[in-house]
Structures are given as structure tokens and as C-alpha cells.
Amino acid sequence: MPDSKKESSWKVFARALNGLVRSWRYSSHIRQATEMRFQMRSLTRTSCGLAFSLVAILFFVAGLQAQEPGVTLPDQQIGSTNPDGKDYSPFPAPDAGYVTDTADLLTLDEEERIEQWLWQTESRTGVEIIVVTIASIRDYPGAPASSIEAFAKGLFDKYGIGNMPENNGVLLLVAVRDRKARIELGAGYGRSRDADALAIMNKEILPSFRQEDYAAGITNGVKGIMLEFAGVRAGLNWPLIIVAAAIPVVGLIAVSLFRNGKRGWGWVCVGLLVVLILALFWMLRQTLRHMPEGRSSGWASGGLGGFGGGHSGGGGATGSW
């Protein structure tokens, strides 16, 4: 009988000890789960904050891209002088930008958009593309009026379109009352790119001009020239947008991996996240660093936003409608 009581006491003690162990394990599990939930909550909040910040950055970048070339275009009358003080007689004086629309074929928004594209093109590649619209080549006494080819070459040389020593500038000239257009190429191209210029004229410009949609023809022509002669596609800065969009995605993947206990892969994603953030800020810095203070700031000294001293070799393509 005493032995059975002794055995019963040991069983009670064993049950109590087992209960304590289970309680400790349970409390430890609860504590770990609570800590994990707190960490996940913090990571989620951080990721959400990061996502909202990146959305704000994207809107900021979009605003910058919409305003890169400047805000206002100075109204220019047909004449021979420019705010830089140079004499462009007998040709029309250029506006302080890449587009001189003396024939009023473009709205202000259309002109701003083309200005932005051409500024981005020159800042990335050094290829200077200039657009000039006039009523007629006969409106400028003293300028070559025998043909639009002669007028375009004289205008190209007088402006000094294209950066040296490459001499790879491009002029798109539209004489709306003469119903003629000309793509004039810098001497650096020789005559080897005449066929490419003619293809742009026939496929991108003339179809819209024949329908009296001059803005569409000029816009499509500029896009074609940018792509063919500078390798730049008009539109948004997609590398910047892709990097910015990838950051919240990678952040959410990292949170999911930590939540599922895959800490190793989670830290890999955190490292990738840091690299993407650094890349984003580098790209933003490049965009801001190359942004001009105004569209007229570079005209007196040449370079980005001003003429680079190039000249035409007579190559290009002409179209009529």
C-alpha cells in the first residue's frame, strides 16, 4: 500500500511537471508568434509607406518630365534676330527652343510635348533635331527661293544645326502654303541616309498632311526622326518607371518570405530592394542634373538647348502634298 501511494505521488508530480513544460512551451510559442506578428506588422507598414512614397516619386518624375524643357514659350514674330543677339537674316529668327512654329500649325501643348522629346533626345544622344514651320519660302526676301531644298540647306547652315564634330543634326522644315516639306540632314550623314529620311517623309508625314492634319504629321515625323537618327523612342522614361514599380513589389515579396519563415530569401530580397532604391535615386539624380534652367539658357553659348555649329551636306528628303 505505501508503495502504491508513493507511485501515485510520482505520477502527480510527473503530470504537474509535464503541465509546466507545456505551459512554458505554449507561452514561448505565443511570445514568438506575437513578436513575429509585430515584426510583420512593422514590415507591412514600412512596405506600405515605401509604396506610397514611390507613388509620390512617380508623380514627381511625371511632373518633371512634363516641365523639363521649360514652362513658357516666348512669342516670336517673323524677323531676323533672336534673343541671343545673333542675326539670322534673311531667314526666320528661331524661337528659344527646338521648335519655331511661325505658321502656327501646333497648339501650345503639342509644341511643349515635341520640345520635351527633342530635349530628351539631345541630352541622351547629342543628336539635335530642329522643327521649323513657315507659310512660304517666298516670304523671306534674300533667302534662296528657287526650291525648298535650297531654302532648307541655307536655313540649316545659318542656324548651325547639329553638334560638332559629329555634325549629325536634323531639320524638319514645313512650308504649308507651298505644300512642301523637307528633312535636311547634317553633313555627318553624307548621302547614305537619304532613303531613311524619304521613308519617314512618305510614311509618317505626308499621309497626315494630305488630310490637312499638320500637327499629326509633324508629331509623327518627329517621332520617326528620333527613332531612326537617334535611336530614341518618344514617350516616358520606362527604365525609371520599371525600377520604381519594382521596388514595392520586391518589398512585398520580402515581407511574404519573412512571414513564411524563409528568412534567407527574405534578406536576399531586402538586399535587392536596397539596390533598386539606390538605382532609382541615381536615375532621378541624372534626370535632375541634366535638366536645363530654361529653354533659352543655352542659346547664347551653344550646346544643349542651343545650336551646335553644324552644317548641311545637302542630304535628306523632300515631300509634297
Q: What are 296-314's pLDDT values in tens digits?
A: 434 433 444 468 789 999 9
10 Å CB burial of residue 186 (0-12, 13-18, 19+) is buried
187 Cβ partners below 8 Å, 6+ apart?
A: 167, 310, 311, 312, 313, 315
Stretch 277-295: mean pLDDT, rounded?
A: 60
Residue showing cell 508503495 = 3
Task: Supply the mean pLDDT for the chain.
Answer: 77
Residue 193 lies in a domain: yes
Task: Check pLDDT > 90 for residue 8.
Answer: no
What separation, in Å, do the N-terminal and C-terminal C-alpha atoms of the chain show?
121
Residue 37 lies in a domain: no
Q: Which amino acid is at 284?
A: L
Grid coordinates given for 102: 511661325
Q: What is the pLDDT of residue 23?
A: 58
Residue 261 lies in a domain: no
Q: Are 254 and 146 in contact (CB under 8 A)?
A: no
Q: What is the pLDDT of residue 16?
A: 58
Task: Check pLDDT > 70 for residue 274.
Answer: yes
Residue 108 lies in a domain: yes
Residue 6 lies in a domain: no
- Residue 128: give the domain boundaries: 74-236+311-320
Grid coordinates given for 145: 527661293
Task: Check pLDDT > 80 for residue 278.
Answer: no
Query: Strand pairing partners for 173?
Result: 132, 182
- Alpha carbon 173 to its chain centroid, in Å, reads 25
Q: What is the pLDDT of residue 192?
A: 92
Residue 171 lies in a domain: yes
Task: Check pLDDT > 60 for residue 127.
Answer: yes
If pLDDT is split at 50, 70 and 90, which confidence band does 30 have?
Answer: low
pLDDT in tens, 74-107: 343 344 445 556 788 899 999 888 999 999 999 9
Bin 179: left if φ > 0, else alpha if -120 < ψ < 50, else beta. left
Nearest 10 degrees: Cα torsion 116, 120, 122, 127: -90
Q: What is the pLDDT of residue 267?
A: 76
> What does pTM read for this prediction?
0.62
Q: What is the pLDDT of residue 54?
A: 55
Stretch 107-134: mean pLDDT, rounded?
A: 92
DSSP string, 189-252: GTTTTHHHHHHHIIIIIHHHHHTT-HHHHHHHHHHHHIIIII---SS--HHHHHHHHHHHHHHH
Residue 13 lies in a domain: no
Query: Strand pairing partners for 99?
Result: 131
- Alpha carbon 80 to its chain centroid, in Å, reads 34
Residue 143 lies in a domain: yes
pLDDT in tens, 188-243: 999 999 999 999 999 999 999 999 999 999 999 999 999 999 988 766 565 766 77
Other CB atoms within 10 Å distance of the CB of residue 195: 9
The CATH number covering residue 90 comes to 3.10.310.50
What's the number of domains the chain is made of? 1
Q: What is the pLDDT of residue 66?
A: 44
205 Cβ partners below 8 Å, 6+ apart?
A: 181, 217, 218, 220, 221, 224, 319
Residue showing cell 559629329 = 166
Task: Check pLDDT > 60 for residue 56.
Answer: no
